[in-house]
């Protein structure tokens, strides 16, 4: 199958990424190639900015394809193969139900009809750069009664100040678990503890 017949007149990698309307037209044309009008009528294709390391995914129960806008901006040639790959997952589910193998014969047949290889894994260098680092925080706990305080890496509501008893409350302050964040908490600790002790007199 000549891919130019169904993609190149709509979009090519030298142009900006297609908008939602154009993505839908591309998906409809691919569904037409597979003679699946119900897919063309119901599929939704969107960019998901929260995707980091995968190029795209098929949300099977919602007939939706989500694409990684970050990676595809850097590697636009991956857009059409990724879109078709995820659409093929939806098409296999529609035709063969949940029992069909995700990358089995039916899937490979659809990809071949689209003129694309069935294997779609990537090792793009941007994947490492785009991987979201989990933010870590440190929490300053100050007893609102006597000013007793401690630091922890999570909010500790399961303990109480032995001087003030179970009815006391913790005032909790959060900062990034980095030198600058700890420095901020140390300054806040001195000020807040002094205030709590003055109030307790």
Q: What is the DSSP letter of 177?
A: S
- pLDDT per residue over 21-41, tens digit each? 999 999 999 999 999 999 999
- pLDDT per residue over 50-71, tens digit each? 998 899 999 999 999 999 999 9
Task: Convert 67-83 to b/e letters by CB count within 10 Å (16 or more is b).
Answer: bbebbbeebbebbbbbb
Domain boundaries, the chain: 3-130, 137-200
Give the strand order in the sheet containing 64-67: 44-47, 64-67, 56-59
CATH class of the region 3-130: alpha beta
* Cα R_g (the chain), whole angstroms: 27
**Cα-based angle 97, 103, 107 (whole degrees, multiple of 5):** 65
Distance between CA atoms of residues 116 and 105, nearest Å: 14
Q: Does the predicted model carry a pTM greater than 0.85? A: no
- pLDDT per residue over 79-121, tens digit each? 999 999 999 999 999 999 988 888 999 999 999 999 898 876 6
Phi, psi of 148 (to 5 degrees): -55, 140
Say which residues have a Cβ less than 8 Å from residue 81's Cβ, sequence separation at least 6: 116, 117, 120
Phi, psi of 119 (to 5 degrees): -75, 125
């Amino acid at each position: 199958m000549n891919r130019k017949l169904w993609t190149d007149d709509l979009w090519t990698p030298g142009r900006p990424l297609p908008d939602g309307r154009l993505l839908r037209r591309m998906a409809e044309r691919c569904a037409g190639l597979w003679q699946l009008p119900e897919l063309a009528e119901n599929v939704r294709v969107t960019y998901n900015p929260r995707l980091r390391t995968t190029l795209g995914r098929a949300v099977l129960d919602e007939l939706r394809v989500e694409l990684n806008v970050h990676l595809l901006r850097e590697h636009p040639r991956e857009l059409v193969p990724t879109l078709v790959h995820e659409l093929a997952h939806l098409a296999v589910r529609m035709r063969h139900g949940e029992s069909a193998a995700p990358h089995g014969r039916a899937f490979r047949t659809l990809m071949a009809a689209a003129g694309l290889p069935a294997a779609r894994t990537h090792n793009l260098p941007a994947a490492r750069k785009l991987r979201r680092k989990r933010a870590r925080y440190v929490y300053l706990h100050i007893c609102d009664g006597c000013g007793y305080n401690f630091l922890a890496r999570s909010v500790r509501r399961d303990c109480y100040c032995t001087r003030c008893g179970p009815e006391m409350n913790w005032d909790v302050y959060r900062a990034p678990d980095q030198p600058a964040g700890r420095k901020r908490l140390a300054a806040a600790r001195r000020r807040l503890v002094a205030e709590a002790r003055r109030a307790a007199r």
